[in-house]
Structure 1
Amino acid sequence: MKRFLTLLIAVVIALSAMSTFAENAKTLKIGTDAEPIGFDPHTTPAHASIRIMHQMYETLVELDDDLNVIPELAVSWEQPDDLTYIFKLREGVKFHSGRELKAADVKYSFERILNPDLGALGSTPSYAGNIDKVEVIDDYTVKITLSKITAPFLASMSSIYCSIVDSEAVEANGDLLRADGGTGPYTLGEWVPDNRVTVNRFEDYWLDGYNFENIEFYVISDSSARMSALRTGEVDIIIGDSAMLSIAEAAPNVDVHKIRTRDYITICLNLNMPEFSDVRVRQAISLALDRQEIIDLACDGQAEVSGFAPASMGHWAVDVNEHPLYKQDIEKAKELMKEAGFENGFSVTCTVGLNDHIRNSGTVIQQQLAQIGIDVTVQNKENAQYVDDWKNHDFEMMICQNGAGSDPNRAVAFFFGTGANANIAEYSNARVDELCELGAGTTDVDKRREYYTEAINIILDECPNVTFASPYNYYYASSSLEGYSPTLNRPLDVRNVTKE
């Protein structure tokens, strides 16, 4: 009898372990570096939110790894003239509410984006800003007419800022910051602030291959703690950084994924301040920087010296390595400060936040600018406050990590066009605006390259932002994952991924 009970207990324990393993295989756990600030794809710029929204929302089209436009919610499109796009929608796609997506929802989404009261990120000409009207032809056909020729329009429709949303969800909640109005493979579940966000598999999703019933995003702001959680099996993937690389390479159960990005780290200057309204001061700041030292100390060497059109943009990129303002020259910087009337320097507060690259850069830049008399106080903000300051242009100097995008119109017009939403420096140059108009108004690639290269060089000379690096992204994954292969455009694409 005693032997029988022992065997029975052993069987129960084994079955319990098998059940736990099976449950664990159904949930993907991701360790992230920052707390999300909300989930409205039209108004939320934070990377911590975007990586979750990509599981929840979809766009008319998407980009493949070679930046070709491919179908998503639209199965096909035609362009009868330079101003008109007719999209044929995928039939049977459902919102997470269970209601089928129709052309009227596409119309609603773009009208919401273009509503000036919303302040949507996609309302600029770099995205949907040149839309003149959206017409419903039938339930599955929508016609978009532009006010002017906009060469990057189709590619820009792949941005999360141009997501198609459920009008009923918006109307019921007022916004989507804490609600879900998407069609993506996962729906918003529980959000425990400063702990985790759970998204649940949408069983009526139009595409198969999403094997995990749940994805849990855990906020683990300390990078060492994130790596420890991965190595011990508490999470399956972590948003990493270069500082983790040596530990990850030595761990037998960790796979390293290094991705070149179209992101860049830059010092945004408030041009309304008397000090920064003088281009000589801005140029002095650029000359004072040892960009490679910032990369070595703040990014552990895992980045490349870059302007705001990084090398990963291919033929749109502008090489800054030979630009005169990208070579450190302290004496020349001091001369410019003296000419501008700031021989004795001045004090300024530099806002940092969001990620370690930004925070670490602040300390190095503080030391470097001290060489030309600029006394920098580094102020580290919580993510929500940092984003609010960014949106409200409430800063003196702010270190930002921006995304140049796949088209130069975003890299230039979105961040430097007069009045553009992301132009937080409030920079304005009539020639830059003209060149952006010309570049967006032609499909001739050589002419576009000529226009945008001139605009980029003007901005590099005038330094409204002082850019220094394009970081690599690191994603570290458990070797128990099968099929995980992150890309620049979809680093957390879990389709056809399984866990042993």
Structure 2
Amino acid sequence: MFNRKGLLVSVLLLFVLVLAACTNVGGNDDSDSQNEGTEGEEAKETDAEQVLKIANDQEPAGLDPHKTPAHSSVRIYSQVYSGLVSFDENMEVVPDLAKEWNQPNDTTYVFTLREGVQFHNGNEVTAEDVKYSFERILAEETASHIASYFSNVESIEVVGDYEVQFNLSNPDATFLSNLTNASAAIVDQEVIEENGDLQQVAVGTGPFKFEEWVADSRVNLVKNENYFIDGQPKLDEVIYYTMKEESARLSAIRTGEVDLTTLTAQSAELISNEENIEVKDYQSLEYSYVGFNVNAEPLDDPKVRQALSLATNRQAITDIVWSGDAVVSGPVAPSMGDWAIDVESHELYQHDIEKAKSLLEEAGYADGFDITITTASTYADMVDTAQLLQQQWKEIGVNAEINQIEWGEYIDTWSNTSADVLIGRNGSGTDPDRSLNYFFNTEGSANVWGFSDSEFDSLVEEGKVTVDQEQRKEIYNKAQERLLELSPNLFLVSPMKYVAVRDSVVNFTPYPHDGEDIVEVSKQ
């Protein structure tokens, strides 16, 4: 009996001890428990895979920053390359590869580079690389889309290993802001000599290194462990998946297959209330346009182009194509503030069918004419705009056939002016010089329309060298009025931009001038 009782007591005592031990795992002190929980959360955040997956709406058109303006390319190579200077979130010019600069006089800029910065292949960046990069941009054989940005550069001198001087032929109010362009990248001569160009390779100094491009599938970038800005980037890898169909991008962001994607207003509305997704919007610096080959009949007559402008109902484009989330725009997007004129009050922005018919009659096309509108098949807004214009122009006897083409062919068509009418979107940039000089000066790098007007050229060239801001505004106001009068393009609307982001993405803020600033982004 005693032995049985003793055994029972021993078993009970053992149970109590085990229970006490289990209760005391982690300690009885509340602060200890809280600390352990915090440490666990930190470990969880640290252990999160730092890979950002982005849906790209088009296949890149190439990776050479000096040659390729397509947004599907820019969004990738802007992460790989650096320029001398950049914009901060307030669109103030700040140092990038250049740690400082000074301007001894109105036509001289001297930049001092950061020392020890390396290209992704280990070569050190020196003043010689800066000189080579800009001479390549300006070389006729490069056919760079930003050559006209730097047409005032008379010469570039290497002052020292880390000091380079730009000598301008005239004062240039746009020079520093043009240097912030993603295409004004500093490149490695050795890489170009090895590969011919940079369309399939990318070796820069930016926060991410190019790793792989799988055609029609994805582009992989990996963290630059030697990036010259401490603590950046936070991500280990960025993957751009090519998803041309918006339905695919919408599905991918919903399921978590991608972390970030741009969407139209309609799709953004569909997921605006979904858990785990935030839709960020901002007024863009872009505008949609109708581009004319002004050397082709009947578009070589300004009265015909004016008639098409009067037949175009821009408010209907805003309401139908963009679900009301856009504003009527001229060549300078309204988001640029005082630089943009009030185009809605302009005579050619009024929807006036009778006047349009009268202008066609004066031009010798009383019965209208047949025309083909070319657009990119993979951009729904461009296709919708083309279809709406087809209906609107029919009211004045213009019979338009729509030609939808793939993105690569579209880029070639734009470059070669091989379409009489082209629907597209442009960026106004961060200075009216891009909006006007770059696209419409006779010598403008992106003037693919064959447009030439000496009065307009004189205005934008004067604006470029005028430092006084108020005087510049007056000059550019006149230039915008002249452009609307001659209508080499019909400027339509400037849309809101929408970015859908998974809630696992931390510190992502899109800006009008930089919709994909990801150096501080991380995953949790």
The TM-score normalised by the length of structure 2 is 0.89
Equivalent in 200, 220, 233 of residue 178 of structure 1: 200
Looking at CA atoms only, which structure, 1 or 2, has the larger radius of gyration? 2
Is the partner of 2:156 in helix, strand or coil?
strand
- Specify the code of the residue in structure 2 equivalent to 1:359: V
- Specify the code of the residue in structure 1 equivalent to 2:416: N
Could you say if the C-alpha distance between residues 219 and 20 of structure 1 is closer, same or farther in structure 2, counting changes exceeding 3 Å? farther
2-structure distance, mates of 1:300, 1:238? 19
| 1:209 to partner: Cα distance | 2.8
- Specify the code of the residue in structure 2 equivalent to 1:290: N
Q: Which runs of 4+ in 1 moved over 2 A?
A: 19-24, 64-67
User: Counterpart of 1:130?
Assistant: 152
2-structure distance, mates of 1:52, 1:165? 15
| 1:181 to partner: Cα distance | 2.6
Task: After superposition, give the CA deviation of every residue in 1:327-364 in whole Å (9 maximum; x if it has no partner).
Answer: 10111111111111111111111111162222221111
Over the matched positions of the two proteins, sequence identity in percent amounts to: 39
Is the partner of 2:458 in helix, strand or coil?
helix
2-structure distance, mates of 1:63, 1:426? 32
| 1:20 to partner: Cα distance | 12
Check conservation: 2:119, 2:205, Cα contact below 8 A. yes
Is the partner of 1:282 in helix, strand or coil?
helix
Q: Map residues 29-108 of structure 1 onto 2, 5 A cutoff.
A: 29-108=53-132
Pairing 1:120–2:144 present: yes
Equivalent in 421, 426, 433 of residue 445 of structure 2: 421
Is the partner of 2:183 in helix, strand or coil?
helix
Pairing 1:197–2:219 present: yes
User: Counterpart of 2:358?
Assistant: 335
Check conservation: 2:437, 2:457, Cα contact below 8 A. yes
- Specify the code of the residue in structure 2 equivalent to 1:332: K
Could you say if the C-alpha distance between residues 371 and 447 of structure 1 is closer, same or farther in structure 2, counting changes exceeding 3 Å? same
Is the partner of 1:250 in helix, strand or coil?
coil
Check conservation: 2:54, 2:238, Cα contact below 8 A. yes
Equivalent in 152, 163, 166 of residue 141 of structure 1: 163
- Specify the code of the residue in structure 2 equivalent to 1:48: S
Alignment RMSD (CA, Å)? 1.6
User: Counterpart of 2:5?
Assistant: none
User: Counterpart of 2:338?
Assistant: 315
- Specify the code of the residue in structure 1 equivalent to 2:300: S
User: Counterpart of 2:388?
Assistant: 364
User: Counterpart of 1:345?
Assistant: 368
| 1:376 to partner: Cα distance | 1.0
Check conservation: 1:64, 1:489, Cα contact below 8 A. no
Could you say if the C-alpha distance between residues 24 and 372 of structure 1 is closer, same or farther in structure 2, counting changes exceeding 3 Å? farther
Equivalent in 250, 262, 268 of residue 291 of structure 2: 268
Identify unmatched segments of 5+ residues in structure 1.
1-18
Pairing 1:492–2:516 present: yes
1-structure distance, mates of 2:370, 2:87? 44
- Specify the code of the residue in structure 2 equivalent to 1:309: V
Check conservation: 2:112, 2:162, Cα contact below 8 A. yes
Is the partner of 2:173 in helix, strand or coil?
coil
Pairing 1:158–2:183 present: no
| 1:117 to partner: Cα distance | 0.9
User: Counterpart of 2:399?
Assistant: 375
| 1:82 to partner: Cα distance | 0.8
The TM-score normalised by the length of structure 1 is 0.93
- Specify the code of the residue in structure 2 equivalent to 1:270: N
Is the partner of 1:104 in helix, strand or coil?
helix
1-structure distance, mates of 2:393, 2:282? 31
2-structure distance, mates of 1:67, 1:337? 44
Task: After superposition, give the CA deviation of every residue in 1:12-32 in whole Å (9 maximum; x if it has no partner).
Answer: xxxxxxx99988722110012
Identify unmatched segments of 5+ residues in structure 2.
1-42
